[in-house]
Structure 1
């Protein structure tokens, strides 16, 4: 039986065969409609699936990826050897042909696709050679989340000197299937299990391939922006990335910058960013197709670096604050992919961009700012800046864009990680129906969500001020901080807002270790999938199931 070769033997083989290629190239992702024929010795293959799905496979279903190196006997013995706890993998031929099993169980708060396990397996077991394949064995409803999970394993940004070409590519570059011969290629292919346990013979449609490719580009664009340090991704650079994307989509961005923000009443964005060398900005992209029935606004917090301002962070709390633009980056990636997938309603992306810096013009604790809502805010913590820029953004979405659905996304509070953990973003909303939809979209996309308390009548008093309409930071830091931060944003929209407002705090799932995850793109595309022309997104969009009590909580 030609089963397991040791990892040491594999490394020796590849040090001879592929030493000139490992670690020197960026990676393109190519999503194929069906399995392509390849010899694993030349093009390694990683097969991933749930054990119950792998047991349904016949050797003929995968022979095009395994022959002539792997026999049917070896393949069947390998499947029999899998004992996931929570995952497991068996080498079929050296480690250039590998089969891996996903966790047996997924709880009701997890995604059925086991997306996080897919990402870990891909990161750990791809070989980073010139061309290889990842074959996903899954049900049709998990194609989207599984593909996104693979994409997250291949970040674009690097300044390592061995990755010169990668490091110098433009911020808006896709890194996905551009045909550059100097880059590694990962083929993502599917074996689809039908509801009766059979193997679907039809390849993915052109519509499905397009949706997956545009989503992949959106995720990688988002992760790239979040990974870039502020000296390469300041407000100017972020605006440039938006302008480049707008040009590709044949749109004209609206840009309000610097002193014009102050003159037009955007006291939140201006107050946060006025001390930085690069002035703050509010940038709006608008997609307005004929026949639109609804107006949806996506508002992103884009703090390109957060020192904390004069309420400065300490030396261990500040590193990593380049990621504080994760909400705005996700909005950009999702907006791009949504438009490419044929968004049928009005869709606006509102980017609230600033650097929370320290300088002679910095906002001081005790300063009072008037925000775009017209309400005054006494600053008692300059490190609670994200809610200030978001407050201007959601108010603009309501007053100027007339949006009836507003979703803001932000790396808002460290408390989010305590409340909902490293994998689940927090969803706060005035609509019980849309809360249920958001949770469902999280499970379908792999960008998980968990609800937090929406109760302004109990929490808004945390911001009480003797001299202004409110303070910007809570009095009691033990009282549902993530909920309170979101409630502050809602206060400027107005608790009597008759539309749907959703707030996603994704401070922790925006990254895994030292790399960005691209969190938010797949979530938003799934949540609003029914508003697109993509059959794939429509198939996974949240259903109209009503929660136990369907109501808007605005009394």
Structure 2
């Protein structure tokens, strides 16, 4: 991962990056862009030269704008002007991402921080740098040279160390979730996923891990997980990861859908809909990574993560449309679409959490429905909760982290769609409002934690079709940053 170093004076000065703000709007139009004042001493003449470049290069200072200026035989040899917009955290995150790409042919750069830079500014900048420099490849071919180190020049480096450390951990865990999600399903199955969690947890103290295999799942009554995983040669698992700090007063349970590949089962998907189904465990990746991040940051909140893992395959042992499934809490589900499998494994995990773990707050993330993208597009998760405060707090944390979600309704008059002549519930009624119906179904398994439960359908934002600000093509790691921001507010 790209190295970030705080310094009061540059160790070397090949390329110097200077932030540029947008000008304040006036009645006569936009004011010229301006250099952000730095408190650090710069080589003679550099600031004046950079200021003269702004109008000549027609720079606006918008977040992510870059301009490179060569200075042969002088120090620094290159100036890179970086637009930071109005200086909000979101703009600085975008600027950091743009810088990682604009300087990708460098090995080392120095960025002069503004004299009044807040800790949140530096955190956002570093997150943008680290997330936009992420690449996932499985090849023996040599990688092209990439930016290796960024020096952040500050008058008081120690004042920003916590911000940089937090950003580094957040980015590291987001990259871990991206790695898990990007990994092809020829490698990734439930056993493999559980092994990755075990290896990551081994590096952190005070984490407790339990992995249930098919025999334990059967003995304890996890019928949804067993049904969905029954058609695969790779048996299902349930990962339970627990961060238990001694000073915790709040217990949060996170649940994430972990379908390591989804063919749709007997209700098989068409090829275009199946080709990216390695991402159908992005919810599990996000909650596991957030829990690891909570442990790495030593957050004073207990976090238990449940990741029900299964591969939904087509075979003679696959569950059928019309089957009745008995879940952990004894509730039975009629399922007439084996491609609505994620809610079946989540139902078991939610019922177990509500009955056995006594959480103060219960949150689940899932790549659950295509209806999420139809309603909200590619960048927003669909958030459901009856708890106004919980919904507001998580939405605020998600926004502060640079992610996006929108609160959706849980209308009581849609409950009739879950009725079944054969079972307690119909898990996949074909009645429209797919994301809403799925959320209502999951709510039925939350028991007496219903008023403290929140669900996010994050299928659409879990994947990016191309580079976009801090996102890179492929898995986004959506949810890790928002969850860590939120967990950091709890005690």
The CA distance in 1 between the partners of 2:110 and 2:320, in whole Å, is 54
Say whether the 8 Å CA contact 2:17–2:82 is kept in structure 1: yes
Q: How many residues align?
A: 466
Task: Choose from 152, 160, 174 the match for 1:189.
Answer: 152
CA contact (8 A) 1:149 1:446 kept: no
Structure 1 counterpart of 2:124: 145
Change (3 A) 1:530 1:188: farther
CA 1:133–1:377 in structure 2 vs 1: closer, same or farther (change >3 Å)? farther
Quick check: 408-417 or 242-251, which moved more?
Answer: 242-251
Contact 1:404 1:499 in 2 (8 A): no
Kindly tell me: are residues 79 and 203 of structure 1, through their superposed partners in 2, closer, same or farther at Cα, counting changes over 3 Å?
farther
Give the Cα separation in 2 of the matches to 1:507 and 1:136.
Answer: 37
Hey, what does 1:99 align to over in structure 2? Answer: 81
Deviation at 1:356, TM superposition (A): 1.1
- Per the normalisation by structure 1, the TM-score is 0.77
1:280 positional shift: 0.6
- Which residues in structure 2 correspond to 1:16-31 (within 5 Å)? 28-31=1-4
Matched, 1:242 2:197: yes
Whole-angstrom distance in 2 between the partners of 1:326 and 1:124: 25
Partner of 2:159: 204
Alpha-carbon distance, 1:381 to partner: 1.1
Separation in 1, partners of 2:9, 2:373: 42
Aligned counterpart in structure 2 of residue 55 of structure 1, from 34, 50, 73? 34
Matched, 1:511 2:463: yes
Instruction: Give ranges in structure 1 of 5+ residues lacking alignment.
Output: 1-27, 106-110, 167-181, 192-199, 533-555
Greater shift, 130-139 or 424-433, is seen at: 130-139
Alignment CA distance shift 1:365-1:36 (3 Å): farther
Alignment match of 2:48 (pick from 73, 79, 101): 73
Distance 1:237 1:333 in 2: 16
Question: Per the alignment, in what secondary structure is the counterpart of residue 126 of structure 2?
Answer: helix
Provide Cα deviations, 1:68-94, integer angstroms capped at 9, x if missing partner: 8x8333211234432256753222327
Aligned partner (choices 67, 73, 77) of residue 90 of structure 1: 67
Which one is further off, 257-266 or 297-306? Answer: 257-266
Q: CA deviation at 1:212?
A: 2.2
Is the 2:9–2:153 contact (alpha carbons within 8 Å) kept by the matching residues of 1? no
Asked if the contact 1:305–1:321 (Cα under 8 Å) also holds between the matched residues in 2, the reply is yes
The 5 A counterparts of 1:230-309 are: 230-250=185-205, 251-309=207-265
Question: Are 1:434 and 2:385 matched, yes or no?
Answer: no
2:103 corresponds, among 126, 129, 135, to 126
Q: CA RMSD in A?
A: 2.9
CA distance in 2, matches of 1:50, 1:517: 28
**Partners of 2:195 and 2:265 in 1: CA distance:** 25
- Cα distance in 1 for partners of 2:113, 2:280 equals 33
Which runs of no fewer than 5 residues in structure 2 stay unpaired? Answer: 25-32, 72-76, 466-472
Contact 1:428/1:502 (<8 A) preserved: yes
Q: Deviations over 1:74-117 (max 9, x none)?
A: 21123443225675322232795322324569xxxxx8513673
Match of 2:188, SS state, is coil
What is the CA deviation profile of residues 448-496 of structure 1, one whole-angstrom value per residue up to 9, with x for unaligned ones? 22111123x122222221111112213322x3x22221221111113x5
2:374 is aligned to 418
Whole-angstrom distance in 2 between the partners of 1:515 and 1:49: 30
**Conserved in 1, the CA contact under 8 Å of 2:173 and 2:292?**
yes
Are the aligned partners of 1:31 and 1:187 in contact in 2 as well (CA < 8 Å)? yes
2:486 maps to 527
TM-score normalised according to structure 2 size: 0.86
Any conservation in 1 of the 2:110–2:150 contact (CA below 8 Å)? yes
**Deviation per CA, 1:132-173, whole angstroms, max 9, x where unpaired?**
456676543343333322222122421233248x9xxxxxxx
Alpha-carbon distance between aligned partners in 2 of 1:115 and 1:319, rounded to the nearest angstrom: 35
Q: Distance in 2 between matches of 1:50 and 1:376?
A: 59
Instruction: Report the Cα offset of residue 254 of structure 1.
Output: 1.1
| Aligned residue runs from structure 1 range 146-545, under 5 A | 146-163=125-142, 185-187=148-150, 189=152, 201=156, 203-250=158-205, 251-455=207-411, 457-477=412-432, 479=433, 481-494=434-447, 496-497=448-449, 499-513=451-465, 514-531=473-490
The alpha-carbon distance between structure 1 residues 189 and 51, as it changes in their structure 2 partners (threshold 3 A), is farther
Secondary structure at the counterpart of residue 444 of structure 2: helix
Structure 1 residue 390: Cα displacement:
1.1
Structure 2 CA distance for aligned equivalents of residues 373 and 355 of structure 1: 22
SS in 1 for 2:393: helix
Q: Provide the C-alpha distance between the structure 1 equivalents of 2:152 and 2:414, rounded to a whole number of angstroms.
A: 49
Q: Secondary structure at the match of 2:149?
A: strand
CA contact (8 A) 2:261 2:311 kept: yes
Question: Offset of 1:531 from its aligned partner?
Answer: 3.2
Per-residue CA distance 1:377-432 (angstroms, 9 max, x = gap): 11111111111111111111111111121111111111112222222222111210
* CA distance in structure 2 between the aligned counterparts of 1:329 and 1:245, rounded to whole angstroms: 12
- Distance in 2 of aligned mates of 1:232 and 1:122: 33
- Say whether the 8 Å CA contact 2:66–2:80 is kept in structure 1: yes
